[in-house]
Amino acid sequence: MSAYAALREGSIFGEDEEVVIKYDNSSDEEQGIPETILAEVAVPEGGSPSTTFIADEKNLVYSSKHMVVGLKVNESVALSGQFKLVIERGAVLINGIHYYHAPQEFIVIQPNISSLPTISSTQIINSSEVRDLPSDENEHLFCSDYKSVVRLENISTGLENIAKYYQPFKNLFSLPEDKQDLPLQNYTFDILTNNEASIRYDRGLVVEIEGLIDGIEEVSSFITIGNKNSGKSTISKLLLNTLVESSPISILDLDPGQSEYSKPYCLSLTNHFDPIIGFNYHKNENDLHYFYGFTTPQGNPELYLKITKSLIEHYQKNLKPKGHHLIINTPGWVKGYGKELLTEITEWVQPDHLILLSANKLDNEETLSNLVFKNLRIWKGYFVQNRYSAAEVRNFNKLVYFHKTKPLQYNFIDHLLDSSPLKISYQTGEDSSFVGVNVVSILNHDMGLNFDIEDIVLMLDTSIVGLYVIENEYFEAHKQIITYTKNRLPYLSSSKFSDLIEYNTPHVKFMGSGIIHSINVIENFFNLYLSQSEDLETIKKLMLQGYKLLVVKGESDIPKSEILMTELLEEFKRRYKQSFKSKGPLPTFPYVSYNNKINGVWKIRRNIMRRGQH
């Protein structure tokens, strides 16, 4: 039995488990590694100081809202926080890539959730391409001692307030005082001069990347594979920032567990026209996101592959002819089902360049067997411990998504519960003219097998869900696969979900994710929160035009800070202490056990799942 088939039967292989896989229309014999492998080089390293900057009264110029930094030969600094970076003199290396042409500038949002960017002094061969911006405050830095001058300007997006909303992120945008190399109290960024969290790029890697890019004459596709935390995201971003100087880039993001390109619980194909330094805040109206519902490919293998193939087909039909290079971001899983997944993807894409990040040469031949590619590079992966767990990274992405109000603006001052949710009615029974929620689906759980019809509402309550609108005529043609029950929500089984939701078609549109806060079962409506960055008016317009609304749920854990307000918790703790001291009855939260971990999920929903499986 293949890993894929076993997953369908409910047997989940571990990431390191050995699985024998046979493929249709291919030899069962293992293929040897092609002889075109290039020399092994090291990927960016972490864990050792990568900055050489020594601050003094000359190389730092302080202003009320910005700072000017002068860099001498071979000097570099690491930066965290939020700022606009403006090149005022010469050229700089940012994460190994040359930038010049003042007044070239970048908006940088850099939380301490990932490796920090390093800015270094450098020179370019053709100095005539450099344009400087001398001024009264930086003129003393225009001398032979300094090679590069940059200005760092304060920027406030609202993300700096995330710690007030979610305590585990208290050091996300500002380092503790004992970790700060320079006391910068009035700035939205930190300069680190001896930091272990920044990226140190091996020169051999940069040369390899440059050599790879220089030889490209046609639209190309790239896929980087390797185990978790081996540097795949770093390599992908380095490729993007190098290629985007001359061509648009499409990123196929297939890692739902630690994505920085996709909406929560989605797979995506996003388009990029500018470098990404730090956190990816770039959005394009032509980006494609589809709700997957899980954090790993094995959550729902059939749906994962269907979405993946549809995104690849969209790229090949619509973006490749426009000159977009393709970079594929893969999950950190190269064995078991992960290997079969990579085989499928490489067969569909047939990438021009495959980059394997590996620390174990003995595993390389097995990893590469049956994969399809035209050119191969094997680079030594580096493995570092992330500051935050994968679950915390996902919480960050969810909070950023639901609290985004407009480009580069986030509201973490007001609690989600401070505003009224969207009140949207849901259909009961069969009514073709109903405007509201017309059908619901719960992935990986089917009515009659995993739960009873009366439990549907409770299973959806307090969940992150995906929202699809479906053209009426198309919906009516598929109505026979929907279960209609008197006084109950129309229900689409998980096994029939893919029969209704087709991708790359004008009949079905994904409109984003939402949080179901609560459900009124008397008056039949959802209390729903949407990201303010989503176009609610378009959703309403389409529904009034006859489009039907489908709500779909997968794993969908909600960050606990979205459910319980800090003020409410503080008041509860105060009352609890008073009752404890007076030996009176202890206060409780409704439906929530004080001693058990909530973790964004009401315990009642988990009990329903278990009951349906007995």
Taking only the tens place, the pLDDT of each residue in 90-125 is 889 888 788 876 567 899 999 988 778 888 888 877
Considering the four listed CATH numbers 1.20.1250, 3.50.50, 2.60.40, 2.60.120, the one that applies to the domain covering 60-192 is: 2.60.120
3-state secondary structure of 328: strand
Answer with the residue of higher pLDDT: 272 or 167. Answer: 272
**pLDDT band, very low/low/confident/very high, at 424 (cuts 50, 70, 90):** very high
Q: What is the pLDDT, as a whole number, of residue 179? A: 55
Helix axes 301-314, 337-349, angle to 10 degrees: 20
Which residue pairs, CB below 8 angstroms and at least 24 apart, start in 127-134? 129/100, 129/101, 130/90, 130/91, 130/100, 130/101, 130/102, 131/101, 131/102, 131/103, 132/88, 132/89, 132/90, 132/102, 133/86, 133/88, 133/89, 133/102, 133/103, 134/88, 134/89
Fold topology of 203-380: Rossmann fold (3.40.50)
What digits encode the pLDDT tens for the residues 374-402? 999 988 876 666 778 888 999 999 999 99
How far is residue 162's CA from residue 410's CA, in Å, rounded to a whole number?
A: 9
Q: What is the pLDDT, as a whole number, of residue 382? A: 64
How far is residue 446's CA from residue 599's CA, in Å, rounded to a whole number?
A: 24
Angstrom distances, CA of residue 424 to CA of 434, 512, 534, 551: 12, 16, 16, 12
Q: Encoding tokens for residue 538?
A: 């378009």
Enumerate the domain spans of the chain: 60-192, 203-380, 414-562
Kindly write down the DSSP assignment for every residue of 182-217, as one continuous string: S--TTSSEEEESS-SSB-B--HHHHHHHHHHHHT--
Q: What is the pLDDT, as a whole number, of residue 285? A: 83
Average pLDDT, the chain: 82
Q: Looking at the predicted structure, is the pLDDT value of residue 298 above 60? A: yes
Q: Looking at the predicted structure, is the pLDDT value of residue 177 above 70? A: no
Which range has the worst mean pLDDT, 32-36, 185-189, 298-302, 541-545?
32-36
CA end-to-end span of the chain = 27
**pLDDT band, very low/low/confident/very high, at 473 (cuts 50, 70, 90):** very high
Q: Encoding tokens for residue 477?
A: 């043609």
Q: What is the pLDDT, as a whole number, of residue 607? A: 36
Helical spans, DSSP H, in 411-496? 456-460, 472-477
pTM of the model: 0.83
How far is residue 559's CA from residue 402's CA, in Å, rounded to a whole number?
A: 11
Q: What is the pLDDT, as a whole number, of residue 191? A: 85
Mean pLDDT for 22-45 is 39
Find all residues with CB under 8 Å of 418, minimum gap 6, and list them.
Answer: none
What digits encode the pLDDT tens for the residues 491-516? 999 999 999 999 989 999 999 999 99
